[in-house]
Amino acid sequence: MIGLADVEAAAARIAGRVLRTPAIASDAVSRATGAQVVLKLENLQVTGSFKERGAANRLALLSATERAAGVIAMSAGNHAQAVARHANLLGIAATIVMPRFTPATKITRTAAWGAEVVLHGDSLAEAGAHARELAAARKLVFVHPYDDPAIMAGQGTLALELLAEAPDLDMLVVPVGGGGMLAGCAAAAAALRPGIRIFGVEVAAYASLSQRLAGQEVSVGGGTIAEGIAVAEIGETPLAVIRAHVEDCLVVPERVVEEAIALMAEGAKLVAEGAGAAGVAALLAFPEIFAGQRVGIPVCGGNIDARIFANVLLRNLLRDGRLLRLRLEIPDRPGVLADIAGRIGGTGGNIIDVSHHRLFAAPSVQAAELELIVEARDTAHGTAIITALEQSYVVSRL
């Protein structure tokens, strides 16, 4: 069981090695969720995540012999970059084992810090097993991403900083993968502010902590945009701290994580990866818990692949009705396309893609099928565009 003293010692040890990130009151997130939200911007760390804190603390504790031997870690990306960077700064050789599904941006950035990157397995568990095999074969020091008191204490330093800037928080909402950040933050927050309510957050596909707390058999797996917290098993060391200090672990749907990423990008002007947006997703999914409360949330990472980020934003525009995918059955005669464009333009809509099918898609040789993507201001404006088209055409929304 780590405590406040361990976290404070870690804070002194890593001072100057990691960024003291800002904690900002977010008006956009507060208005969207009904809570008074303070965001701790760990996405501004050099490697883009809170993982630098634990890695810096753990590597600072290595003996001279261990430094000479080198280190190895398994990670879906953020722990990888953190260990690679701080090993590089200390002149320590680092090997990182990453699952094959890891986003390309995290692989590239890890290698850029001078680490040897090994891609192995389809899950963090498989990558971890291979990392331990390599550690034994090469006599390397294994740096666990969460099941290590030094890692946990390092991650908890973000809660020290957050509560120093926002000492009146009612709640702390922390994303959970293996549990290192939640345990470290809980140990610090429970001591500094007795009575603060602490929640973990998991995605539906990887709800191992929730299942453990409920006494259920752990069953996880599948794709998720929050790959940074896609961990098969909660760490046993963090679990003991979590049981002592954490009120509950909330499970959020994949779709709400995407909505949180979009809200933070458009509203708060922040780039967050899936795991980094999970805390905000919890407020969107469970507004009744947080309404009117002062809530602190770490934006724990910003390492999202550019293509995935773009797709998330476009998917959110479709859900909000600001992008319309429409199919129209139209007569195959001159002037029809001009009429449709005029109706859309007349309502203030903007056509951004057109696909016109004559030969095979239409039900009649004298008809055609038209697929459009149209930009609208909001849901009501999109409805007005469709109404204008339906006056003369059969319209279906895709």
> What are 111-134's pLDDT values in tens digits?
999 999 999 998 878 999 999 999
Q: What's the confidence (pLDDT) of residue 125?
A: 81
pLDDT interval class at 360 (50, 70, 90): low
Average pLDDT, the chain: 94
Count of domains in the chain? 3
The verdict on 174 and 239 lying in the same domain is yes
> What's the burial of 269, exposed, middle or buried (CB within 10 Å: 0-12/13-18/19+)?
exposed
What is the tens place of the pLDDT at every residue in 278-326? 999 999 999 999 999 999 999 999 999 899 999 999 999 999 999 999 9
3-state DSSP assignment of residue 83: helix
Handedness of CA 116, 118, 123, 127 (dihedral sign): negative
The verdict on 231 and 342 lying in the same domain is no
Number of Cβ within a 10 Å radius of residue 317: 16
> What's the burial of 326, exposed, middle or buried (CB within 10 Å: 0-12/13-18/19+)?
buried
Q: What's the confidence (pLDDT) of residue 77?
A: 80
Q: How far apart are CA 7 and CA 2, in angstroms?
A: 8
The verdict on 16 and 126 lying in the same domain is no
Return the CATH number at 165. Answer: 3.40.50.1100
pLDDT interval class at 361 (50, 70, 90): low
What is the tens place of the pLDDT at every residue in 59-89? 999 999 999 999 999 987 899 999 999 999 9
The verdict on 61 and 37 lying in the same domain is no
Residue indicated by tokens 């200090």: 245
The verdict on 131 and 280 lying in the same domain is no
Domain boundary among 295, 315, 335: 315
Range of the domain at 346: 321-397
The verdict on 16 and 64 lying in the same domain is no
pTM for this entry: 0.92
Name the phi and psi angles at 303, rounded to 5. Answer: -90, 75
> What's the burial of 126, exposed, middle or buried (CB within 10 Å: 0-12/13-18/19+)?
middle
Cα separation values, 7 from 43, 79, 157, 200, 279, Å: 21, 19, 6, 19, 22
Q: What's the confidence (pLDDT) of residue 365?
A: 62
The verdict on 170 and 76 lying in the same domain is no
- When pLDDT is averaged across residues 353-359 and rounded to a whole number, the result is 81
The verdict on 116 and 172 lying in the same domain is no
Which pairs count as long-range contacts for 306-314, CB under 8 Å and 24+ apart, including other chains?
306/105, 308/103, 308/225, 309/261, 309/265, 309/271, 312/225, 312/258, 312/261, 312/262, 313/261, 313/262, 313/265, 313/266
Q: What's the confidence (pLDDT) of residue 53?
A: 98
The verdict on 13 and 75 lying in the same domain is no
CA atoms within 13 A on the CB side of 146: 31
The verdict on 70 and 20 lying in the same domain is no
Examine the pLDDT at 188 and tell me if it is beyond 80: yes
Q: What's the confidence (pLDDT) of residue 362?
A: 57
Domain boundary among 270, 292, 315: 315
Q: Which residue has the higher pLDDT, 51 or 223?
A: 51
Q: How far apart are CA 303 and CA 80, in angstroms?
A: 12
The verdict on 296 and 251 lying in the same domain is yes
> Which of 210, 182, 252 minimizes the C-alpha distance to 7?
182
Domain boundary among 284, 315, 346: 315
- When pLDDT is averaged across residues 175-190 and rounded to a whole number, the result is 97
The verdict on 311 and 328 lying in the same domain is no
String of b and e for 138-176 (b: at least 16 CB within 10 Å)?
eebbebbbbbbbbbbbbbbbbbbbbbeebeebbbbbbbb
